[in-house]
Amino acid sequence: MMKKKILVLCTGNSCRSQIAHGFLKTFAKVEAEVFSAGIETHGVNPKAVKTMMEEGIDISNHTSNNIDEYKNIDFDFVITVCDNAKENCPYFPSAAKVLHYNFSDPAKAKGTNREVDEEFRKVREEIKRYCKQFVDQNL
φ, ψ dihedrals at 120, nearest 5°: -60, -45
Cα distance between residue 27 and residue 133, in whole Å: 10
Which one of 89, 98, 99, 116 is the catalytic residue? 89
Is 89 catalytic? The answer is yes
Which one of 7, 9, 10, 67 is the catalytic residue? 10
SS3 content of the chain, % helix, strand, coil (to 5): 45, 15, 40
Which one of 49, 82, 96, 107 is the catalytic residue? 82
Is 82 catalytic? The answer is yes
- CB contact at 8 A, 36 and 75: no
Catalytic residue ranges: 10, 82, 89
